[in-house]
Amino acid sequence: MTPSKTLTVALNDRSYPIHIGPGLVEQAGALLLPVIQKPRVFIITDENVAQHYLAPLQSSLEASGIKCGHLILPAGESTKSFANLQLVVEAMLAAKIERSTTAIALGGGVIGDLTGFAASIALRGIDFVQIPTTLLAQVDSSVGGKTGINTAQGKNLAGSFYQPKAVLVDIDTLNTLPDRERLAGYAEVCKYGLLGDANFWDWLEQNGAQVLSGDSDATTEAIEVSCEAKARVVAEDERENGVRALLNLGHTFAHAFEAELSYSGALLHGEAVAFGTVLAFDLSVRLGLCPEKDADRVRAHFNSVGLMTKPPGQAQRIATDVLLGHMMQDKKVTDGTITFVLVRGIGQAFLTQDVTHSDVTATLEAALTV
């Protein structure tokens, strides 16, 4: 069996393939042999993913003559910490990795972001490969080389741009993914339609329910279109000096709530992105930039599939100035001004710094009091 589709992230001598299809964990040895320097890897995963996929991955790699070490971490957002960065780097060093050893991230965005960051600093940089096992990681975090951890000040505030050597998207791994996680990942799929591809959004309105129910054709289509969009954007603007910032649609709002709520697991990243996207549409409507009917369409689709369209109950106690304070620590703040991703309509995102704090506060207050 070969991957159903192979895309390329075109970055000259750092270009890499994204293989998409069923059964790729079982084919990992054959698929990775051409991209690794020496037949030696170190797998980082979490306890949930390990119980399903660590042994099949090791068998496949060993069948291709690749020696494997591994580390299993606790699952969840709080794993993306300085303490675990140290743990991963020191576990690899204790296993006597060499510069030619490849780290493998087997898991969701948490494991991918942490492993990529660790790989970028261990021995001043070793190769790494992404094997994403959540919908979110398959359509977004495994592609593009943003790695990192959370700090006390907020999400993803320490990290590096460090591209993987390959991405293996095995859609079969989604069969064991909890429904809540699949739905959260779907918010990042929707993002690609909402920011720049109105036809894909139309398709999602028709087919989103099938993607969420696990229909493999619909899921593969959604992943392929998302990865094509991500690969295109990363090739054009790897370091987020321009168009890549559009991928943060909804994220400025989302990160502020996550900093307050989510490291506990009360709020998943994709859940925050869902209502953060609705807030970005609401702010755009408030500023007279976007027709209200487009914001209504987003709300209607999210409601129909069960995605959050407003912050959860626990968020009611968070003061808007606290949320604004988190937004001011966003990586997109320049000279004290937040850069927002706003929309002129579905599929028409753009960047602007022309937003007053009072408009943001009013948008937050409306969402927190409904």
Q: Comparing C-alpha atoms, which of 119, 226, 230, 249 is closest to residue 171?
A: 226
338: Cβ–Cβ under 8 A, 6 or more apart, which residues? 252, 327, 328, 330, 332, 353, 355, 360
- Interface segment toward ligand NAD; rule CB under 6 A; list 18-26, 45-53, 118-126, 206-214: 45-53
| Residue 353, amino acid | Q
Told to judge if 188 belongs to the known catalytic residues of this protein, a careful annotator would answer: yes
Site for ligand NAD in 151-170 (CB under 6 A): 155-156
254 token code pair? 């989302």
The entry of ligand NAD, ligand GLY, none that residue 191 binds, CB within 5 to 8 Å by partner kind: none
Q: Does 183 bind ligand NAD (CB under 6 A)?
A: no
Site for ligand GLY in 120-149 (CB under 6 A): 140, 144, 146
Give the pairing type, strands 67-73 and 127-132. unpaired
**264 counts as binding ligand NAD under rule CB under 6 A:** no
Could you say which of 139, 166, 247, 307 contacts ligand GLY (CB under 6 A)? 247
Nearer to ligand GLY, 70 or 244 (CB): 244
Min dist. Cβ of residue 146 to ligand GLY (A): 5
Phi-psi region of 143 (alpha: psi -120 to 50; beta: other; left: phi over 0): beta
| Cα separation values, 145 from 49, 93, 115, 117, Å | 21, 22, 11, 9
Out of 144, 193, 208, 250, point to the residue binding ligand NAD (CB under 6 A): 144
Torsion of CA 65, 71, 77, 81, to 10 degrees: -120
Residue 332 binds ligand GLY, judged by CB under 6 A = no
Q: Does 331 bind ligand NAD (CB under 6 A)?
A: no
Q: CA-CA distance, 137 to 190, in Å (whole number)? A: 14
DSSP assignment of 296-317 equals HHHHHHHHHHT--SS--GGGGG
Known catalytic residue at 248? yes
Binding mask 74-93 for ligand GLY (x = CB under 6 A): --------------------
- Residue closer to ligand GLY by CB (options 42, 340) is 340
Tokens 């703040």 — which residue? Answer: 333
Active-site residue, selected from the candidate residues 5, 70, 232, 244 = 244
Residue nearest ligand GLY (C-beta atom): 247
Which does residue 169 bind out of ligand NAD, ligand GLY, none, counting CB within 5 to 8 angstroms by kind?
A: none
Is 251 annotated in the active site? yes
Say which of 19, 40, 80, 269 is annotated catalytic: 269
| Contact between 46 and ligand GLY per CB under 6 A | no
